[in-house]
Amino acid sequence: MDVKELIRGARLPETTVSLCLRADLVAEYEQVQAERAKAQEQASGSLAGSGGAVQDLDGQLEVRRREMAESTLTLTLRALSSHRYQQLLDEHPPRVTDGVLEPRDRLGFNADTFFLALARACVVAPALDSEDWEALVGDDGTLTDGQVSKLCNAAYALNRKDVDLPF
């Protein structure tokens, strides 16, 4: 095998993160799901049955699933080169107060700034400008802390895991 050809064909690992931007729909879905479970239980205990109620709730669940899918932003993240990753680490040094490393920074970087900067650097699609990013993760952003953690954890794992053969 030609080494130069192999190197030219190399690709950094990628992953996707899907984020539903309409948390209200998720809550509605869960409520209808609970109503359906209750209706299903009642239908199985009744001779007359209430299959119509279950079917109606199934329809409502399908509508909510479609609405959630239409309100989901799927981001494609690509790992950074080792050099770029190290550069980003250098831009976010750990904080030291009175000669003591801040507990949150024990991984060797400023945890309050690095993770979001890493996620931002890894997002390759769709193209997000500064206004989009601020609307997602800024002070008044639409993502929950859990969603931001999901995004940041995906970016961190993508850059820190070994690329190994799956067999």
pLDDT 10s digits, 120-150? 999 999 999 999 999 999 999 999 999 999 9
Residue 56, both tokens: 């109606």
Check whether residue 15 and residue 94 sit in a common domain: yes
Check whether residue 108 and residue 37 sit in a common domain: no
Check whether residue 101 and residue 155 sit in a common domain: yes
Q: Record the pTM.
A: 0.82
Helix (H) or strand (E) holding 74: strand 72-78
43 with 51: CB under 8 angstroms?
yes
Q: What is the mean pLDDT of residues 34-45?
A: 87
Helix (H) or strand (E) holding 130: helix 130-137
Indicate if the pLDDT at residue 40 is higher than 80.
yes
Instruction: Give me the number of domains the chain comprises.
Output: 2
Q: Supply the CATH number for residue 80's domain.
A: 3.30.2220.30
Which domain, by its residues, includes 147?
1-21+72-162
Check whether residue 89 and residue 123 sit in a common domain: yes
Instruction: State residue 47's pLDDT score.
Output: 55
Check whether residue 91 and residue 156 sit in a common domain: yes
Instruction: State residue 44's pLDDT score.
Output: 78
**CA–centroid distance for 45 within its chain:** 41
Query: Shortest CA distance to 72 belongs to which of 150, 139, 153?
Result: 150
Q: What is the mean pLDDT of residues 80-85?
A: 97
Check whether residue 80 and residue 136 sit in a common domain: yes
SS (H, E, C) 5-65: HHHHCCCCCEEEEEEECCHHHHHHHHHHHHHHHHHHHHHHCCCCCCHHHHHHHHHHHHHHH
Would you say residue 167 lies in a domain?
A: no
Burial class (CB in 10 A: 0-12, 13-18, 19+), 47: exposed
44-66 pLDDT tens trace: 766 555 568 899 999 999 999 99
Distance, CA of 123 to CA of 71 (rounded, Å)? 19
Check whether residue 39 and residue 83 sit in a common domain: no
